[in-house]
Chain A
């Protein structure tokens, strides 16, 4: 599991790789918390390298969504989401609410 954060002009881009289960999702929460604590509420999660995204990771995503969108100050958007992970997000009822983009440039440019 690896998390790489890049601060861009418009937003922060967080690249996720590997397994995000209930063991590793606290690390994801911490990485996102650091970005939020820095006052950045426009976040793109690059999901291309994600192999596994369980309910603990989905809870982190929902927390991020709520925090970013509070007072209309930002949003969390996803890019390059593998098909099987889209299906999991579909089951959890997340897909219709979170914007997903086929590549990072489009996602970053959407802000």
Chain B
């Protein structure tokens, strides 16, 4: 059974703090411990940054919706924007093993999202916008 609540803000980087606070509250209410709540916060921050910087190209008048709910054992976060379609598959995976001097600087956000969450799915369509759905199990044993 899913209960759903949402936060709707403009696509400004200055709202990232409020989004993080909102998500942290919902995550701990859903039973995530402090560490896992922090990981969800990080992933949400990266996803919202992508929406603002890539989908809205830095324009701060777009709409950004963040919805959190519990589905079975999962804490689910859905982030929706109505900016330009954004294809995360187009972002090359970052190099996280080579010498720092030789590493390129991009791709880290999506990479961290995938590392921090149990699943990350993207979909884009002209009607419902760009949607990122991220899941984190509320069961401690699932890492």
Of the four ranges (under 10, 10 to 19, 20 to 34, 35 or more), the interface on chain A belongs to 20 to 34
- B100 CB–A CB distance under 8 Å: yes
Task: Give every chain A residue within 8 A of B128 (Cβ-Cβ).
Answer: none
Q: How many residues of B contact A (CB 8 A)?
A: 29
Chain B residues contacting A98 (CB-CB under 8 Å) are 100
CA–CA, A106 and B45, complex, Å: 33
Which segment, of A3-11, A17-25, A38-46, faces chain B? A17-25
B67 at the interface (CB under 8 A from A): no
Question: Which residues of A have CB within 8 Å of B16?
Answer: 19, 21-23
Taking the closest CB of chain A, its distance from the CB of B129, in whole angstroms, is 20
Residue of B nearest to A56 (CB): B49
Chain A residues near B (Cβ < 8 Å): 19, 21-23, 52, 54-56, 58-59, 62-63, 65-66, 69, 84, 88, 91-94, 97-98
